[in-house]
Amino acid sequence: MHESSSPSPRSPLTATTLVVLGQALQAQGETTEAEAVLRRALAIREKSLGPNHPDVAAVLGTLGQIELGLNRLSEAERDMSRAIAIDERVLGPDHLTTALARMQLGNLRHRQMRQTEALDLFSRALAVFRKSPGQADIMIPVTLNNIAEVNRAQGRLPEAEASFAEALALQEKQHGPDSLYLTATLNNLGELRRAQGRLQDAEQLARRALAIREKSLGPDHPDVAASLNNLALVFSREGRDAEAEGLLTRALAIQEKTYGAAHPNVATALNNLAEAWTHLGRKQEAEQLLRKSLTIREKAVGPVHLDVAIALDNLVTLMGDGDRYAEAEPFARRSLAIREAALGQSHPLVANSLNNLAVVLDSTGRAQEAEPLLRRALDIRLHALGEQHPDVANSFANLGAHFLDLKDWQHASDAFARAVAIQNGRRAAEFAEETRSDLGAPEDTNTYPGLITAAYHLASATDGGPAGALRSQAFEAAQWIGDEQAARAIAGMSARVADGRGDLAVRVRERQDLGAQAVATDKALVAAISQANAARNPAAEQALRQRAAAIAAQIRELDRTIATQFPDYAALVTKTPIAIEDAQKQLRPNEAMLLFTTTSRATFVWTVTRADVRWHAADLGEKQLNETIGALRCGLDAEAWLDKASSCSQKLGRKTALGADEPLPFDQERAFALYQALLGPVVRDIDGKELILVPSGPLATLPFQVLLTDKPAAGGDLAKAPWLVKRFATTVLPSVSSLKALRQVARKSAASKPFLGVGNPTLDGDGRSDVSITRAKLARQIQTCAALPTQATQVAQRSLRAVDALSGGTADIVQLRRQMPLPETALELCAVASSFAPVKGDVVLANDASETRMKTLSQSGDLAKYRILHFATHGALAGQVRGSIEPGLILSPPAAPTPADDGYLSSSEISGLKLDADWVILSACNTAGGQAANSEAFSGLARAFFYAGTRALLVSHWAVNSDAAVVITTGAIDALKGHADIGRAEALRRSISALIARGGANAQPGIWAPFVLVGNAAM
């Protein structure tokens, strides 16, 4: 019998066997063993085949992949570069194997932040794959994904979108719409949509990837956990933290089942869930998860690994948010020690740890120890990131907070001024995803409030010119303070404009692209300098700094161009402050503007008249102001008593709950005290003038007309109480700059028709209760004013607590219909319409009150023919409609939703309407402002209607009594008919005062006070 001879240990066949074994070990994650086997194979092939053989290049490529995975970038570069050189020399630059080698080196360049080189390598590989039969189903989509990722990293989002879309189309054509091959592209495109703020699309893509993975891999596969996490990220961006929590809980369970409870992946999942719990106020439970995550990382990667420092930072942040700085200190010190040992003394991550420890020391009374750390962190960031990076602004702000605590007002002002200058110059992507690397200073020592506080104290100690300059500086800083939800609504309007045509659309798209590039460049620079020293590339880092500066300059120039060429749009979407002197020029002799800014310690008030400016601080911090306004709203809004968590009885010092027929108990003493604090010091300046109010924070949730201008009489008649509305006409503005914008377009409406009312949308309620069934039936009967029942009364049930059922950017129609029907709004609108003579107003109700009808009227030009528009329906603020980042109005939902009509008229859709209206009346629940203390007044609705073409809005702070709405609305209109020169604000003041004078229930402030005028007070 003949036996086959075994191959020589140095033969090519042995090398091939070793390569197969090495690749198998690599696939199993046994990289150390795989590398050793492949090194043996490489040595055999180099000796037997020569150093420049393609089979040698193949082993070098595999070794490069392993080295890349182990973050040994210089070794990976050596082996990959050698492999490409061999393939190009032997096989040619257009060979398929050469293209595959370029792909590997492209991945390395992407990791090294050398994006231009990465893009060139991927593009050259793609050109080869496009010419190679059979590659379309695998390598072309992969390469397109890589090209898209490079473009996304550089902020070139339109280019990234095009590549992702092509890759997805190819994969769908080759594998079908439900193939597992699609999920990576769906995930990447979803992340892009999230970065663009297109959350509806991001949610749909995440849901689709999740459904495919669940069907293909089963419900407990780790890739399913990854998809759950991606969908949770979208929900978190939409403010749907409770839903995100459910997804993250399931993802954690999958990770624990797959890898065991002590795996680093489980630590990451615990951290993600802890963040969701923190947003939901479950901080104690979140802390338990973070501690567990820390323990896992310590055991898995060792107690001095950089991942442990991240876990420590998370705990420091949570404890700092709870004012538990003494407990946070050892964690902050340990994080710093780990990073200094691993990264050296001058790394940006070391600056993060220095900052966190300094804030802890400052907050525990050790300012002398804190200051050197803050200065060192600032120096590191300035050197590494350049003078315009957001992290540098954070360092200046923390230094300013330090000086505030020391009452060193001048140094505090200087530091905050540097931070403000950076932030104002870097307002590149107002809608970018949040990143947080620092432990924050107390809220009133954040950049703008901090500058205002320092400037106020400096001004109080100086006279003349310096005090006036400080006052002006703080006045402009106060105008930058705003609300994230309102900013998102404005971003939605910008996106709508950018989707259109013409020069403005081109400019807006360009501005959005530059904003994305600025954020991407900031992140790329941080990532580049966060590499280990051996892997850093100084030339690439300097190129990123230069790119950041160039983008910032382009943004400033483009903003100037947009503001000059398209002032109406600029006024809508920007919060660029105007100087006090410019504001004074816009005011008439009988007007006074009051700007309010609340910090954690005080409320600052600027009183601006045509002739003078006053600035004072009321001793009302945000917490105290929230408590005061919360107590006042208990006497205004019945819904404040309905929540299970309601504390109205406690706030008002009552031992019993509110009786079923008991009037709402309004605290007149508190209302007078609030007037004294806010307006008392300037009463002589404002006496006899109309007040233009620019509130923010808690004050945006209260109509000022319910304040009392004198001490109330004990047990006195409400009709005779000294309400502010009896003495002052008031108008509210969403920003100081909007005064100038509105006055510039203050021409009177040229509309020929008096009135259009829209309301009584076709809704079902819950479909079970007698109330819902009865109201739905009645609402459907009232399709026109001729169909009104002979007898009907009651308060319109426009409860925001019902508006919680919309999902995504397109509404869930079944859930939307569950909102409470509003048949009484038909009575309200028809009554107002009939008050006009000789031509009565028009009304659209029920099925006709739809998005489609509104958009059709707008496109035909008919909507612009109405001087007054009156919407009587459910209203929702930014974030209150689940899944929508925009405020809006609920109309009749269609049979099936479309992008053009989903039953929800959002602020961006409103901004696209063509109006020429003197008034828009929003007789809906809570269209004036949110109950949350951080809600910016009107959350974008006012801006949207202004941009669409209206001069003023009448909006409501809580559920409106329909009878009162009719009386107030018709009274104001009648007052203007008789005295056209008095203006809208005075007409509204007279109408409300007349209703109060009727006495009885009409004098209850909850009845007459919800309406406020927003916009242009004069006709």
- The CATH number of the domain where 855 resides is what? 3.40.50
Please give the single-letter amino acid code of residue 803.
V
Q: Report which residue type is found at 308.
A: V
Of 935, 950, 965, which residue sits at a domain end? 950
pLDDT attached to residue 114:
79
Say whether pLDDT at 938 is over 60: no
Q: How far is Cα 956 from Cα 923, in angstroms, rounded to an integer?
A: 6
321, two tokens: 């948010």
494 pLDDT band (50/70/90 cuts)? low
- The last residue of one of the domains, among 950, 975, 996, is 950
Residue 252 in any domain: the answer is yes
Q: What share of the chain is helix, strand, coil (3-state, %, to 5)?
A: 60, 5, 30
Tokens at residue 938, please?
Answer: 């009107």
Chain-centroid distance of CA 716 in Å reads 46
Q: How far apart are CA 980 and CA 942, in angstroms?
A: 24
**Does any domain span residue 423?**
no
Final residue of a structural domain among 908, 933, 950: 950
Give the tens place of pLDDT for each residue, 162-181: 999 999 999 999 899 999 99
Residue 592 lies in a domain: no
Kindly report, residue by residue over 525-558, the tens digit of the pLDDT. 767 766 656 666 778 778 887 888 888 788 888 8
Cα separations in angstroms, 869 against 92, 160, 691, 833, 910:
71, 42, 25, 10, 13
Confidence of residue 1004 (pLDDT cuts 50, 70, 90): very high
Domain that holds residue 498: 484-573
Q: What is the 3-state secondary structure (H, E, C) of 498-539?
A: HCCCCHHHHHHHHHHHHHHHHHHHHHHHHHHHCCCHHHCCHH
Q: How many distinct structural domains can be found in the chain?
A: 3
For tokens 């979140």, what's the residue? 286
Q: Write the CA distances from 628 to 78, 432, 647, 667, 715, integer angstroms.
A: 68, 34, 13, 10, 21
Q: Six-digit token pair at 499?
A: 């989707």
Query: If you average pLDDT over every residue of the chain, what do you get?
Result: 84
Contact 45, 53 (CB under 8 A): yes
The model's pTM is 0.75
For residue 512, tell me if it sits in a domain.
yes
Model pLDDT, residue 105: 94
Please report whether residue 971 resides in a domain.
no
| pLDDT tens-digit readout, 626-683 | 999 989 988 988 777 776 556 888 888 887 777 777 888 999 999 999 999 999 999 9
Name the nearest CA neighbour of 827 among 952, 961, 987.
Answer: 961
Q: Is residue 359 part of a domain?
A: no
Host H or E run for residue 731: strand 730-732
Find the helix packing angle between 222-237 and 199-217, rounded to 10°: 160
- Spatial neighbors of 64 by CB under 8 A, at least 6 apart, are 76, 77, 79, 80, 83, 104, 105, 108
Q: What pLDDT, in 10s, does the model give residues 567-613? A: 767 765 666 788 999 999 999 999 999 999 998 889 999 999 999 99
Helix, strand or coil for residue 342? Answer: helix
Return the ∠ at Cα 485 (arms to 481 and 489), rounded to 5°. 110
Which letter, b or e, does each residue of 929-967 get, where b requires 16 or more Cβ atoms within 10 Å of its Cβ?
Answer: bbbbbbbbbbbbbbbbbbbbbbbbbbbbbbbbbbbbbbb
Asked whether residue 719 is assigned to any structural domain, the reply reads no
Is residue 462 within 8 A of residue 454, CB to CB? The reply is: no
711, 674 in Cβ contact below 8 A? no
Cα(441)–Cα(405) distance, integer angstroms: 11
| Burial state string for 905-926 with b = 16 or more CB within 10 A and e = fewer than 16 | bbbbbbbbbebbbbbbbbbbbb
Strands 952-956 and 866-872, sheet pairing: unpaired
180 vs 28: which has the higher pLDDT:
180
Percentage of the residues of the chain whose pLDDT score is greater than 70: 86
Domain with residue 230: its CATH number is: 1.25.40.10
Distance CA 385, CA 530 (A): 11
The three-point CA angle 380-382-383 to 5° equals: 65
